[in-house]
Amino acid sequence: MKLNKILILIWILIFIGCSKEPKKENFLARVNDSYLTREEFASLVDTTNLSPIRRQEIIKDWIYREVLYQKAKSEKIVDQENFKNVLKTSTKELAAAMLLDDFLSSEEIKFSDSDLLEYYQKNKNYFQLNADSYLINKVTFRFEDNAIKFRSLAVESDWTKAANFLSNDSSLILNMNSELIQENYLYPMQLMKIARDLYPQEISIVIAESGGYYSVVQLLGKYDKGTVPGFEIMKHLVEKRFLAEKQKQLVDDYLKELYSNNDIEIKK
């Protein structure tokens, strides 16, 4: 079950299950008689490292979905037979997805670094870069003065020491370590231009981003399109793909077991 499909199904149930008696003193947004409480918001997204910009985007998305749902309800869309059929199917698919999620959570996949290295060596074509890419460190602050202070510390000592020193800074909203990013995903445009001109280990100037945030970047390495970066650089992607394949095999075996344990008839 693809994650985006699961999320769509979850949103469908959220539409139907909007509380009419919320804790009104503890809400983040309201559309007429429907409220987005802090508890509901926390169930929608991991708030651990959620940036203020992303937080506002999620709230705005909830508002748009809610006004659309309320309009659809007033237009009697939810009373149509087609809607009920789709909801019935979606409910079954969501239940199945949650069952599989519980199943996978209960199945421990044991592996070692040597297993990942062997998988990487056998499947290097999977990890060939589709675009020029940059291995970077990046920090983002709410305030320019904090970004300037971080850069000065990083230049005078080193990036890791500066990051550790300011790890508890309340204005620090992003601390990215050794991330491989394709050139077309570098944002803002100024960052792309700067990354092209940096030398390995060089630290950028303070970069002003949209929303009034300020970032500093360190280039660790450049990789051309079509190349395959080393195992250590790709390790997190190798692990992700390795686990995905193992989980798929577990699900396939589980489905075969369920198939054999049920009374199934297919008519020609």
- Give the model confidence (pLDDT) of 116-136 as tens digits: 999 999 999 999 999 999 999
Is the predicted pLDDT of residue 55 greater than 60, yes or no? Answer: yes
* 134-154: pLDDT as tens digits: 999 999 999 999 999 999 999
Length of the chain: 268
Contacts of 61 (CB under 8 A, 6+ apart): none
**Residue 186 — pLDDT band, cuts 50, 70, 90?**
confident
Is the predicted pLDDT of residue 248 greater than 80, yes or no? Answer: yes
At 56 the three-state DSSP class reads helix
Integer angstrom CA distances of residue 95 from 13, 25, 241, 257:
11, 32, 25, 18
Mean residue pLDDT of the chain comes to 89
Residue 242 carries which side chain, given as an amino acid letter? F
Residue 210 confidence (pLDDT)? 83
Q: What pTM does this model have?
A: 0.68
Residue 6 confidence (pLDDT)? 52
Is the predicted pLDDT of residue 20 greater than 80, yes or no? Answer: no
Nearest to 85 by CA among 1, 175, 12: 12
Nearest to 160 by CA among 180, 181, 191, 139: 139
Is the predicted pLDDT of residue 268 greater than 90, yes or no? Answer: no
